[in-house]
Amino acid sequence: MLPIDPHADTGRRAWLACPNCDHGASCAECRSGRNCHTHWQYLIGNEAAVLHLQCPSCAHFWSVDTRPGRGCRTAA
C-alpha cells in the first residue's frame, strides 16, 4: 500500500468512487449522489479536467478525466 501523498489536504476533496476499494459502495448517502462526510478522495491536483486523486482508505492513486465520455485512468 502506498503512503498518503504529502500534498494531500482534507480541504481539497472530491466525491468520486475509488476504483480500487470503492469504500462508499454500501453507503446510502453516497449512493444517493450526495457528498458524504466520510467517503471522499484527496484531490491531489488537476490538469484542466483531469483530476489526480488518492483514496484515504486504501491509498490508491489514480487520475480521472471528468469530461463527458471520458473515464478513469490508473496511475502507474
pLDDT at 61: 94
pLDDT at 68: 85
Query: Distance between CA 60 and CA 34 in Å, rounded?
Result: 22
Query: Distance between CA 69 and CA 34 in Å, rounded?
Result: 22
Q: Show pLDDT as tens, one digit a residue, over the chain (76 residues).
A: 668 999 899 899 999 999 999 998 899 998 898 899 999 999 999 999 999 999 999 999 999 999 987 666 655 4
pTM: 0.82
Query: Distance between CA 14 and CA 36 in Å, rounded?
Result: 10
Residue 45, C-beta contacts closer than 8 angstroms, at least 6 positions apart: 7, 51, 52
pLDDT at 76: 42
What type of residue sits at position 32? S
Domain boundaries, given as residue ranges, for the chain? 13-65
- What helix, strand, coil percent values describe the chain, rounded to 5? 5, 30, 65
